Amino acid sequence: MERKLRILVAKPGLDGHDRGAKIIARALRDAGFEVIYTGLHQTPEMVVNAAIQEDVDCVSLSILSGAHNHLFAEVLRLLKKNGCADKVVIGGGIIPPDDIPGLKKKGVKALFTPGTDTRDVVDWIRKNVKPRRL
């Protein structure tokens, strides 16, 4: 039996702009996924701990503070360190196009920048994230 996809929507770092994260969280929930939202001001350690404890399939990071290069890398590193490199990491926020290839190379699977239709995020997840069997 397949279970519902579980997705962690996380706001790492210090910025308080949570409009995007909350819109995404709600759109994913409305699409039938199980969504866990971390709330604001999370360290990469807190995000990875939540991802492990909640046993999520996908970690979606929202970053508008300009610290994306540092924060994505930290989350990916800690996931790997904890043997959870199979969790799909995606993200969104204010991310300059120049930074996108570098982030993808590090292991971020998809990045959704301003103007994204939430249905595109839902479609991408349906296509690219496989729920694990119970």
Partner 1 sequence: MGNLPERQKGDSPKEFSTLSSRLIRRLYTPEDTADLDPDKDIGKAGEYPFTRGIHQSMYRGRLWTMRQFAGFGTAEDTNKRFKYLLSHGMMGLSTAFDMPTLMGYDPDHPIAGGEVGIEGVAISSLSDMELLFDGIPLDKITTSMTINAPAIVLMAMYVAVGEKQGLRPDQLGGTIQADILKEFIAQKEWICPPEASVRILMDMVDWCSKEMPKWNSISISGYHIREAGATAVQELAFTLGDGVAYVEEGIRRGMDVDKFAPRLSFFFDVHNDFFEEIAKFRAARRLWARLMKERFKAKNPRSWMLRTHAQTAGVSLTAQQPYNNVVRTTIQALAAVLGGTQSLHTNSLDETYALPTEEAVRIALRTQQIIAHESGVVGTVDPFGGSYFVESLTDEMEKEAQAIIRKIDEMGGMLRAIDLGYPQREIIESAFRYQRQVETKEKIIVGVNDFVSEKEPPIETLKISREAEKRQLKRLSEVKKKRNARKVEESLTQLKKAAASRENLMPSVLKAVKEYATLGEVVSVFKSVFGTYKDPGHY
Q: Is 118 in the site for partner 1 (CB under 8 A)?
A: yes
Tokens of 17: 């702009």
Give residue for tokens 């397949």.
2
User: What binding mask, one character per residue, do residues 44-63 give for partner 1 by CB under 8 A, x or -?
Assistant: --------------------
Asked if 63 and 91 touch (Cβ cutoff 8 Å), the reply is yes
Q: Is 119 in the site for partner 1 (CB under 8 A)?
A: yes
User: What binding mask, one character per residue, do residues 1-40 give for partner 1 by CB under 8 A, x or -?
Assistant: --------x---xxxxxxx-xxx-xxx---------xxxx
The nearer residue to partner 1, 37 or 79, going by C-beta atoms, is 37
Tell the smallest beta-carbon distance from residue 41 to partner 1 (Å): 7
The pairs formed by 75-82 with CB atoms below 8 angstroms and a separation of 24 or more are 75/12, 75/44, 75/47, 75/48, 76/106, 76/107, 76/108, 77/44, 78/44, 78/45, 78/48, 79/48, 79/51, 82/48, 82/52
Task: By CB under 8 A, name the binding residues for partner 1.
Answer: 9, 13-19, 21-23, 25-27, 37-41, 43, 65-67, 69-71, 74, 94, 96-98, 113-115, 117-119
